[in-house]
Chains A and B, each alone.
Chain A
Amino acid sequence: MRFKSLAIFLIISSFFLTCILSIWKIMATLQGLSFTNLNVTPIFLIGILLSLAFVLIGNKINHLIKIFSLSFISSILYFYLNEASPLWYILGVFLITLFFTNKLKKYSIQSLKEDFISEKIIFDFITLFGIVFFAFVILFPFYIMLVTSFKTQIALLVNPLDFSLDFTKSLTELFKSYFVIFETYNFGRYILISSVVSIGTVIVTLLFAIPAAYAVARLNFFGKNFLSTSILIIYMFPAIVLVIPLYTVFSQLGLRNSIFGLLIVYTATTLPVAIYMLQGYFKSIPKEIEDAGIMDGQNWFGIILKIIIPLSLPAIASVALYVFMIAWNEFLFSLMFLDSPKSFTLSRAIQYLSGDAETPRQYLMAGSVIVTLPVLFIFIYFEKYLVSGLTAGSVKE
């Protein structure tokens, strides 16, 4: 029994070590190191030796001394078994093994006797592996986007694996793509248009949504239930089926290529979800507070303005951010309605750039970084509000 769990422990832990070291190797390859072999077997063997040594030593020496010395020995071993590599790479290997041995902390010969220990080992390492895996898979494209914007097309065609940045170059040289897209491709204008459209959408949506949500949450009127069900159904309806009729009508009304036209469409498509999110919050405000307002002789307008809005600022903020992100990221309508570069939004401008096969990819990626950064910043900064907004906005009555 103890032998079996020991074997599982050794295999799983070394498998995990092999995975992170391979990812490290891939990342190093992208810095221009010319590795041509993943060398999985030796790393796996090192992992097994390391884990075995770890549980055999047990508590005989201080934990810190133990992990440092073990990591150091394995790094040296790794250095000799691997292709020629610079010092910073081996330092990375050392830090990774340090992290790894520290994770082994709770295992010892004694703990391998516990119930279900094999399952627990598997779960533990799958968790660790999963986190590394997910983080890598998610962040890798963003990383490529960012570094490509600092490279040149020619350099990437010569060696598509070299993403190392040359910091000896001047800053203007390094940020050249950004200067080019602002100067040659007019991105300043597109940023302005995108901001105007998105912020405008937020304002107009809130103006329409707050009264409507209040009515749905508080007042009794004919067709109220029908209205709240249709909000959800409308939210499910796809933009693509609206496109052709809207295109024809907008063409005849001269609303294509106009920011105003885009604003109307964005507002109408985000209204259902905004109303839905807000009315849920309004319902949670105690009715007594409003009754007090009615006693004071407030009309409904006053109640909304003086009681409801101040009390539901967090909800309004999360709706505003959510609507802003939808409008900022929107692509389909801007593709259909805008065909003059004068009125492009950022997304449409990037798509337009990519339509020309001659456009060097670093410009495309610089544009992508510019359109992505604001949303990511807003998201990171206001994550708490946004997450509650996302959860409320996407599901059920």
Chain B
Amino acid sequence: MSVSLSKLEKRTAFTLVLPAVLLVFAIVLFPIFANVWISFKDIELKDIRIPEPRAKKIVKSIPENQSELKIIYKLRNSSLIQEIRNVQFQDKLPTNVSPINLDPRCNFQSKKIVCNFGNWQAKYRENFEIIIQSNNGEIIDKKIIKSQKPILSGKADNPLLTTNFTLENFKKVFYENNFVELLLTTFYFTFFGTVGAIIFGILAAQLVNQNIQGRTYMRGILLFPYVGPVVALAYTWTLLLDPNSGTLNALLVNFNIIEQPINLLGQKYITMSILGFEFKLRLALTTVIFFEIWRYFPLAFLFILARLQAIPQSLYEAAEVDGASPIQKFIHITLPQITAIISILFMIRFIWNFNKFEDIFLLTGGASGTRTLPINVYQQGFAVSDIGMGSAVSIVIVMLLLSFMIIYFRLIGKRANEI
């Protein structure tokens, strides 16, 4: 009895889980593996369609003979790199109409012209002509002939499934396009974005945790940037920071804080001098990082607040009795209680910032020194149309991510269960 019950349980479990697992496998896991395949191929955006034979039909009348018509089929192979094998062609003619001097590759039977064109090389083109004639000498209606579309078929390899591989993509990833700078930009963005978001998160949580009026409203407002659609927020910021008529620059110039408008999103470097030391700041990158902090500190805030509210009040009361100052209370009571959540947040946000695409894409498009790895995937794959290259960059991202995750589970994974 119990054996059959546990069998039944297993079977039910599989039926319940399987649909979800299959879907996630097809859409999430399969592409990750497919990336490996594509990254070793020399393939461009225009090659991804399976090659197909195409024909454009043109019907011309013959002035000397009203009962005849000339049909020209502009035949071509849609692919520029692959051949199509065994191309079959078929077109229908109306009753009482038949072709004359038909091409030897074709047959005419039961109102159909059937041709066997054999193999078409890549880029193959041909103007294939047929002259048709009315059997009873009447004028053939051009429209009827034109409205009938020819049917073509042929066998072609899927360009994604061929087995010619190359290492070229990875060579290009590492040796061209300034890979080191790309990596550094990505790490600056990720690291400072994460640390900034957490610092602001702690500050905000500390504030809202005080006994202030309207604290629930404040919590709601603080989450606005996180729940708002990225498109709307990024364009609002672009408008706000625009050097020509953006509000921020206009305000700063108006109050004589700066003399000239600063192109915060379009300028790669700005020279700053502090205490006589001059240094160059990555301006556009810094602005993008600030946007990132603005958008994601609410998440850190939410978690830290939840943790703060769980700290027993008696700890603070005891400290009060011992005569601890507010700073001492923060350092000796609050901080130790939130380090665990902060380390988890750091890792999660680090991984997510590392993958961030939309924010940078919408703000700068990856220009002015804000090109990170995810932006590079898009640029290689879709702007340069080199799919293989884009996949190779994706593989680099996945590899780096996997190593972060291993570090995460080694260092913090065990502690995560304690909270």
Residues of A within 8 A of B (CB): 26, 29-30, 35-38, 115-116, 119-120, 123, 127, 130-131, 134-135, 137-139, 141-142, 144-145, 148, 156-157, 160-161, 163, 208-209, 211-212, 214-216, 219-222, 224, 227, 233-234, 236-249, 251-252, 264-265, 267-269, 271-272, 275, 300, 325, 328-329, 331-332, 335-336, 346-347, 350-351, 354, 361, 364-365, 367-369, 371-372, 375-376, 379-380, 383, 386-387, 390-391, 394-397
27 A–B contact pairs at CB < 8 A? A30-B251, A36-B254, A37-B256, A38-B255, A115-B323, A119-B325, A134-B218, A138-B222, A139-B224, A237-B401, A238-B397, A240-B355, A240-B357, A240-B394, A241-B355, A244-B377, A252-B50, A300-B16, A347-B229, A347-B231, A368-B235, A372-B233, A379-B227, A383-B216, A383-B223, A394-B348, A397-B416
CB of B326 closer than 8 Å to a CB of A: yes
| A249–B161 alpha-carbon span in the complex (Å) | 11
Task: Give the interface centre of A156, A160, A247, A252 by most chain B CB atoms within 10 Å.
Answer: A160
By a CB distance below 8 angstroms, the chain B residues around A396 are 344, 416-417, 419
By a CB distance below 8 angstroms, the chain A residues around B32 are 237, 241-242, 245
| A41–B230 alpha-carbon span in the complex (Å) | 39
The answer to whether B224 and A245 have CB atoms under 8 Å apart is no
Chain B, 383-419, CB within 8 A of any chain A CB: 387, 390-391, 394, 397-398, 401, 405, 416-417, 419
| A239–B397 alpha-carbon span in the complex (Å) | 11
The answer to whether B254 and A29 have CB atoms under 8 Å apart is yes
The answer to whether A376 and B227 have CB atoms under 8 Å apart is yes
| A369–B390 alpha-carbon span in the complex (Å) | 34
| A189–B368 alpha-carbon span in the complex (Å) | 36
By a CB distance below 8 angstroms, the chain B residues around A248 are 34, 38, 48, 160, 387
Taking A130-B204, A350-B232, A371-B231 as contacts, is the C-beta distance between A238 and B355 under 8 angstroms?
yes
Complex partner residue of A390 from B235, B299, B401, CB under 8 angstroms: B299
By a CB distance below 8 angstroms, the chain A residues around B378 are 240, 243
The answer to whether A144 and B240 have CB atoms under 8 Å apart is yes
By a CB distance below 8 angstroms, the chain B residues around A130 are 203-204, 207
Complex partner residue of B306 from A249, A361, A391, CB under 8 angstroms: A391
CB of B220 closer than 8 Å to a CB of A: yes
| A214–B9 alpha-carbon span in the complex (Å) | 12
Interface stretch among B17-25, B68-76, B103-111?
B17-25
Interface residues on B, range: 35 or more
| A267–B20 alpha-carbon span in the complex (Å) | 9
Taking A119-B327, A134-B222 as contacts, is the C-beta distance between A354 and B235 under 8 angstroms?
yes
| A386–B29 alpha-carbon span in the complex (Å) | 28
The answer to whether A268 and B23 have CB atoms under 8 Å apart is yes
| A376–B228 alpha-carbon span in the complex (Å) | 7
Taking A144-B240, A252-B158, A394-B348 as contacts, is the C-beta distance between A134 and B10 under 8 angstroms?
no
The answer to whether B326 and A116 have CB atoms under 8 Å apart is yes
The answer to whether A141 and B24 have CB atoms under 8 Å apart is no
By a CB distance below 8 angstroms, the chain A residues around B14 are 221
| A265–B26 alpha-carbon span in the complex (Å) | 10
| A246–B20 alpha-carbon span in the complex (Å) | 18
CB of B237 closer than 8 Å to a CB of A: yes
The answer to whether B377 and A375 have CB atoms under 8 Å apart is no
Main secondary structure of the interface of B (DSSP, over half): helix
CB of B35 closer than 8 Å to a CB of A: yes
Top 3 A-B pairs, shortest CB-CB distance: A238-B355, A268-B27, A368-B232
A13 to chain B, nearest CB (A): 17
Q: Which residue in chain A gives the minimum CB-CB distance to B294? A: A137
By a CB distance below 8 angstroms, the chain B residues around A269 are 27-28
| A120–B49 alpha-carbon span in the complex (Å) | 69
B2 to chain A, nearest CB (A): 12
| A169–B165 alpha-carbon span in the complex (Å) | 66
Interface stretch among B87-95, B118-126, B128-136, B242-250?
B242-250
Task: Give the interface centre of B19, B28, B216 by most chain A CB atoms within 10 Å.
Answer: B28
By a CB distance below 8 angstroms, the chain A residues around B294 are 137-138
| A269–B28 alpha-carbon span in the complex (Å) | 7
Q: Which residue in chain B gives the minimum CB-CB distance to A141? A: B236
Residues of B within 8 A of A (CB): 6, 9-10, 12-17, 19-21, 23-24, 26-32, 34-35, 38, 48-50, 158, 160, 203-204, 207, 210, 212, 216, 218-233, 235-237, 239-240, 245-247, 250-251, 254-256, 294, 299, 302-303, 306, 323, 325-327, 344-345, 348, 351-352, 354-355, 357-358, 361-362, 374, 377-378, 381-382, 387, 390-391, 394, 397-398, 401, 405, 416-417, 419
The answer to whether A271 and B20 have CB atoms under 8 Å apart is yes
| A36–B219 alpha-carbon span in the complex (Å) | 35
The answer to whether A241 and B31 have CB atoms under 8 Å apart is yes
The answer to whether A300 and B254 have CB atoms under 8 Å apart is no
By a CB distance below 8 angstroms, the chain B residues around A369 are 232
By a CB distance below 8 angstroms, the chain B residues around A347 are 229-231
By a CB distance below 8 angstroms, the chain A residues around B246 are 160
| A148–B26 alpha-carbon span in the complex (Å) | 43
Q: Which residue in chain B gives the minimum CB-CB distance to A214? A: B16
The answer to whether B16 and A328 have CB atoms under 8 Å apart is no
The answer to whether B251 and A26 have CB atoms under 8 Å apart is yes
Q: Which residue in chain A gives the minimum CB-CB distance to B25? A: A268
| A133–B238 alpha-carbon span in the complex (Å) | 21
Complex partner residue of B230 from A144, A214, A215, A329, CB under 8 angstroms: A329
The answer to whether A245 and B17 have CB atoms under 8 Å apart is no
Taking A144-B240, A216-B17, A246-B27 as contacts, is the C-beta distance between A390 and B231 under 8 angstroms?
no
The answer to whether A234 and B35 have CB atoms under 8 Å apart is no
By a CB distance below 8 angstroms, the chain B residues around A142 are 224, 228, 236
The answer to whether B381 and A243 have CB atoms under 8 Å apart is yes
The answer to whether A379 and B220 have CB atoms under 8 Å apart is yes
Q: Which residue in chain A gives the minimum CB-CB distance to B396? A: A241
Taking A234-B29, A239-B357 as contacts, is the C-beta distance between A212 and B233 under 8 angstroms?
no
Q: Known contacts A135-B218, A141-B237; can you find 19 more A-B pairs with CB under 8 A? A: A116-B326, A119-B327, A144-B236, A215-B16, A238-B354, A238-B397, A239-B357, A240-B357, A241-B397, A244-B377, A245-B35, A251-B48, A331-B231, A331-B362, A347-B230, A383-B216, A395-B303, A395-B345, A396-B344
Complex partner residue of B31 from A29, A246, A365, A390, CB under 8 angstroms: A246
Taking A138-B222, A244-B377 as contacts, is the C-beta distance between A391 and B247 under 8 angstroms?
no
| A204–B360 alpha-carbon span in the complex (Å) | 31
The answer to whether A161 and B35 have CB atoms under 8 Å apart is no
The answer to whether B27 and A220 have CB atoms under 8 Å apart is no
The answer to whether B302 and A242 have CB atoms under 8 Å apart is no
The answer to whether A391 and B303 have CB atoms under 8 Å apart is yes
